[in-house]
Amino acid sequence: MKKRKVAWGITGSGDKLVEITEIVRKIKEEYEDEFEIRAYVSKAGDQVLKYYGLFKTLEIDFDRLWVEINANAPFLAGEIQLGSYEFMLIAPATSNTVAKIALRIGDSLIPNAAIMGQKANIPIYVLPSDVEEGVTVTQLPDGSDLELIIRKEDVEHVDKLASMGIHILKSPEEIYDVFKNHSSKK
């Protein structure tokens, strides 16, 4: 059986990044005969992965790892639009990435690919870092907590994505369900 490709977009959010990376690594092992997960990293994602000490881990664990050069390089948007991918997962997604997709601004790799994929009716799953208004606590690479205030404007962009048919994930554990739902092993 030919493996189906999945595009995993990693943006510049550190929120739940360690947890998300571990979950996707486990899914890669569990579904290794069915899915080929290709990691696409935004320019900011590259910086954040290195800050958290995860870039080398991804290089080792994933056969295909690309870092953004510009909105069309690597040529992810075209490949998604042509149906080369089963679906696209963006986790974690910064408020910047969410806003760009909601406002249809395709000037960087991950938003451009999501917008083009949506136009071609490819399922897009987004795990936003700013999903609910209020105070949230995230962990820094040294293990200390950072308290952040999520504004209504950021949540409005998440709501707009949902109204556009993009699947919004509220926790990293929901990534398991995405793969399960796309699996032929149901």
Cα–Cα distance between 147 and 44 in angstroms, integer?
Answer: 21
Q: pLDDT averaged over the chain?
A: 94
- Of the ranges 80-84, 123-127, 152-156, 181-185, which one carries the lowest mean pLDDT score? 181-185
Beta bridge partners of 150: 134
Q: Which domain holds residue 15?
A: 4-182
Q: Give this prediction's pTM.
A: 0.94
pLDDT at 149 over 90: no
pLDDT per position as a tens digit, 120-134: 999 999 999 998 888
Q: Give the number of domains in the chain.
A: 1
Q: What pLDDT score was predicted for residue 64?
A: 85
Cα–Cα distance between 182 and 176 in angstroms, integer?
Answer: 10
Looking at residue 58, which CATH number applies to its domain? Answer: 3.40.50.1950
Q: Are 5 and 35 in contact (CB under 8 A)?
A: yes
